[in-house]
Chain A
Amino acid sequence: MLRLEKRPSPSKAWNFATPIVAVLLTMIAGGILFAILGKNPFEAIKLIFWDPLFSEQFAAYSRPQLLVKAGPLILIAVGLSIGFRAGIWNIGAEGQYIIGALCAAAVALGFYPGEGWYIFPLMIVAGAAGGWAWAMIPAILKTRFNTNEILVSLLLVYVAEKLLAAAATGFMRNPQGAGFPGSRNIHQYAPASNQELIVGTGLHWGVVAAFVAVIFAYILLQRHILGFHVQLAGQAPRAARFAGVAPTRLVLMCMGLSGAFAGMAGMFEVSGPARLISIDFNAGYGFTAIIVAFLGRLHPVGIVLAGLLLALTYIGGELAQFMLNLPAAAIQVFQGMLLFFLLALDVLSNYRILLALPGRNPEAA
C-alpha cells in the first residue's frame, strides 16, 4: 500500500519538476489516445511538438504563429495567476476578453474612417477598461454581497458570448458586408491596426504587452509588499487579515487586474490576428490561459514557458488536423489531460509517498 506523508516544507525540486513530468506523461497518454483514434502516435506527437518549429515544410508559417498564439495566453494567464495566488478565482477571463475586444472595436469603428495616432492607444485603454469593468461585476458582487466569484465570472462568459453574437449580427455588423455577420475589418483600418512589428516573427503589440505584464507581475510578486500580501491571502487568509490585508481591496485589485489584462488581450486580437468582430471571435484563450497559469506554477517566468508550450499545441494541433485528419477536439482533450497530470503530480511537492509494508504500518490502509 502507498501512503502519503506531509512534508515539513514543500519540496522545491518537485515544484520545478512536476510541470516537466506532467508534459511527458501527457505526451504518453496523448500518444495512446491518438493510437486509439487510429493515428500513428509518434508521428502525431512529432507533428504537434516538433514540426511547427523545426520542419522545413511548416516552420516558415508556424514559427511566427507561436508568438501570435502565446501572446494572449501569456497576457491573460499572468493576470489570472495573481488572483489565483490570492485564492480569488476569476475563471471568466474568456468573457472579459470578449468585452475588451468589443470595446476596442467600438472605438475603432467609432473613428472609422478618420485618421489619428491616438486611435490605437485609445483602443488599448478601451479594451483594458472593458475587461476591467466586466471583471468588476463579480468582484463587486463578491465584496458587497458575498456572492461566489467563480460562478458569477463564469456565467458572465455566456452573457458576453451572447453580446458578441448580438454585435456581430447586429449593432457592429459591417454596413458594406452584404448582410453577412461580422464587423468591418479593423486590421485593414490603419490607425487601428495591430501590425506585425518585425516581419516574419509574429511579434505584435500584444506580445510586447504580454512581456511587459510578465515583468510587472514578477516585480510585484517577488519584490513588492502587495505581492507578498497576495500570496499571504491565498495561503492563510486569517493571517492575511491579521497582517492588515483588506480582503475587499485585494479582491477588487486581483479581479480588476486580470480583467484588464484579458480585455487588452481581446483588443490586440481583434485589431490583429482576428482582424474583426465575428460570431466565433473567441477561440477559448480565456480558458486555456487557466491551464497556462497552473502549468506555469502561477509564476511569471513559468507562465511564459507554459504559454509557449500551449501555443505550440494549438499550432501543432492545427497541423495534425490538416495532415493526419486528427479531430480538433483531440487537442482540447490533450490540454485537459495536461492539467489533470499536473494536479495529480502536485501531490509530490507537498507530500512524500511512502511504501508502507502491511505488517509494520497497519493503519496505512
Chain B
Amino acid sequence: MSTPLLSIKGLTKVYPGVVANSDVTFDIGEGEVHALLGENGAGKSTLVKAIYGLIRPNEGTMEWRGQPYAPSAPAQARATGVAMVFQHFSLFDAMDVAENVALGMDNPPPIRELAAQIRKVSNDYGLPLDPDRLVGDLSAGERQRVEIIRCLLQNPQLLIMDEPTSVLTPQEVEILFKTLRQLRAEGRSILYISHKLEEIRALCENATVLRLGKVVGRADPRQESARSLAEMMVGQTLHTPSRETPDFGKPLLEVSDLSVASPSAFGTALKGINLTVRAGEILGIGGVAGNGQDELLGALSGEIRAPSGMVRMAGEPVGQYGPTARRAMGLLCAPEERLGHAAAPDMSLTENALLTGAWRERLVNKGFVNWGKAKGFAETIIKRFDVRTPGPHVAARALSGGNLQKFVIGREILQRPSVLVVNQPTWGVDASAAAAIRQALLDLAQGGAAVVVISQDLDEILEISDNFAALNGGRLSAPRPVQGLTMDQIGLMLGGAEGDTDVAA
C-alpha cells in the first residue's frame, strides 16, 4: 500500500486528572473515508483537536504523507491541507455568510470575489447558499453548509467532520452524504467522527474505535454488523430498557394553539403548537437543533409565560403561571443545558437540590431554608441515581456530564412529578448511564406520570416513546404512534411536511 495521507503514532494527551488519549495509532489513506467511532467522552474530540493544531499532544507523533507533522496552530494545519467542520459550529451570528467564510480562511480574497466563489462552489457541491445572508438567520442545516463551504474553498486534502449529522434531518443527511462521496471521488480524504453506526456503515471504508481514550478496535464497517460495532464501542452488552404494554389514563398535559416569541434574538418562535399527553404516556418530540426545543421547554416550565388557556395541567389552565407555581402543581422540567440552566455550576449539589426542590420537598419553611433537609435530599438523589461524587458539598461543575445529568433528572423524578418534560435527557452521557436514565423515565410513566421527551436522538425517542411528533421551525407536527412509523415518514415530519399518510414515499 502507498504512504498514508496522515498517520498518527502513539498519540497521548493528558489533562489534569484525565487521560484523554492514550497511545492512539492509526492511518488515514488517500481518498479514504475513515470513521472515528466512540461514545461521548471516548477522546474523539481531543484527538481531532490535536490533528487540527488546537492542542498539542504530550507524546506521540504525526506524519503527513511521510513527513513529520506537528501543527502548532490551526493556520498551520490549514496550510498543510487539513480542514475541519466543527460539531458546535464556529460561526458568528451577527455576520454574513461571506464574512464567516472569510474568517475561516488564511488568505481570503476580497469579499466580493469571495461571494462569487461561495455561490459557485455551493452550487457545484449541491449545497446552495446565499453569501449575503446573516448567519444568525440560517437553519442548522444551512449553517453546516457554511462550515463545509468554508473548508472546501481551501481545497483541503483531509476534511474532518465532527458529528455532522446530529443537526440534520434524514433527507439532509442524504444530501450531505452525496457531497461527501463526491469529495472522495475527487481523491480527498475524510475523517468522519460519529457514534451513529448505521451512518458509518453506509459511508466509511475504515473505522477506528476509541474507548476511554484508547484504540480498542479497527474494522471495515461494511463488513461488520451495527451490533458488533456497538459492542466494540461500549465494551459490554447493553441493558435495553423495558416496559409493559401501555395503558393510558386521563390527559395530564394539554397544549392548545401555543404561540410565543423567543426570548433570544436568533431564537425560534413557537407557532400554534398542539399536543396532549395522558397519564402513563411518553411523547417523544424529535427535531433538528434550533427548531424551537428550548422555547418549548421554556413555555412548559413557565420560564416563558403564555396566555393561560394555551397550557393546561390536568384541565387547569397554567399558561400564566411561573415555574414555581407550575412545580407546585406537579409539572416539572429538566432543560438541555445542564451547567447554567438546569444547575448552577459554582454551587454545591445541596444548593442545586434546593434549586427546584425547595417547595415540593418542603426544604423551605416560611421562606427560611432548612439546609439539613436540603442536604438530605441531595444525598437521596446521589444514592438513588448512582451519582458518582464525593458528596453533596461538591460544586456542580466538578461532576462529569453524565453524573450531573443523572443528578438533574433524578432531582426531578424524585419529586414525584405528574408531568415531566425533559430536553436531551442523555446528551453527552455514556451508554450505561443513558440506559439507566431511559429506564427511569419509563418507570415514571409506568407509575402514571405523563412524560415529554424532547431529543435530537431519534433512536432514543423510538426506543422509549409511545407517540412521536416533530418540531420544525417552531411548529409541531401532529403526534403519531411510534409503532409502525417508518424512517421516511419520520424524515418528512422532521422536514416540516405535515403528516398526511399519502405523502409518505
A9 to B355, alpha carbons, bound, how many Å? 18
A240 to B347, alpha carbons, bound, how many Å? 12
**CB of A144 within 8 Å of the partner chain:** no
- In whole Å, how far is B302's beta carbon from the nearest beta carbon of chain A? 7
Q: What number of A residues sit within 8 Å (CB to CB) of B? A: 25
Task: Please give, as numbers and ranges, the residues of chain A lying within 8 Å of B337 by CB-CB distance.
Answer: 238
Contact B364 A243 (CB under 8 A): no
Contact B342 A8 (CB under 8 A): no
**CB of B143 within 8 Å of the partner chain:** no
**CB of A251 within 8 Å of the partner chain:** no
- In whole Å, how far is B327's beta carbon from the nearest beta carbon of chain A? 7
A226 to B346, alpha carbons, bound, how many Å? 18
Contact A224 B367 (CB under 8 A): yes
Task: Please give, as numbers and ranges, the residues of chain B lying within 8 Å of A228 by CB-CB distance.
Answer: 351, 354, 369
Task: Give the size category of B's interface with A.
Answer: 35 or more
* Contact A225 to B346, CB < 8 A, known contacts A242-B356, A243-B323, A362-B56: no
A231 to B397, alpha carbons, bound, how many Å? 16
Contact A242 B341 (CB under 8 A): yes
Task: Please give, as numbers and ranges, the residues of chain A lying within 8 Å of B398 by CB-CB distance.
Answer: 8-9
**CB of A5 within 8 Å of the partner chain:** yes
**CB of B268 within 8 Å of the partner chain:** no
**CB of B220 within 8 Å of the partner chain:** no
Contact A226 B367 (CB under 8 A): yes
Residue of A nearest to B327 (CB): A244
**CB of A241 within 8 Å of the partner chain:** yes
- In whole Å, how far is B24's beta carbon from the nearest beta carbon of chain A? 17
* Contact A10 to B347, CB < 8 A, known contacts A242-B301, A363-B56: no
Contact B355 A235 (CB under 8 A): no
**CB of A232 within 8 Å of the partner chain:** yes
- Interface residue SS majority, chain A: helix
Task: Please give, as numbers and ranges, the residues of chain A lying within 8 Å of B369 by CB-CB distance.
Answer: 223-225, 228
* Contact A223 to B368, CB < 8 A, known contacts A5-B16, A242-B301: yes
A189 to B357, alpha carbons, bound, how many Å? 55
Contact B346 A246 (CB under 8 A): no
A362 to B73, alpha carbons, bound, how many Å? 11
- In whole Å, how far is B238's beta carbon from the nearest beta carbon of chain A? 30
A362 to B55, alpha carbons, bound, how many Å? 9
- In whole Å, how far is A247's beta carbon from the nearest beta carbon of chain B? 11
**CB of B340 within 8 Å of the partner chain:** yes
Contact A239 B344 (CB under 8 A): yes
Task: Please give, as numbers and ranges, the residues of chain B lying within 8 Å of A363 by CB-CB distance.
Answer: 55-56
- In whole Å, how far is B136's beta carbon from the nearest beta carbon of chain A? 19
Interface hits, B324-377 → A, CB 8 Å: 324-325, 327, 333, 335, 337, 340-347, 351, 354-356, 358, 364, 367-369
Give me 10 other A-B pairs in contact (C-beta within 8 A), A5-B16, A361-B58 excluded: A224-B367, A224-B369, A225-B354, A228-B354, A228-B369, A232-B344, A232-B355, A242-B355, A243-B355, A361-B56
Nearest first, the 9 A-B pairs at minimum CB distance are A244-B324, A8-B398, A244-B323, A236-B344, A9-B395, A238-B341, A363-B56, A239-B344, A362-B56
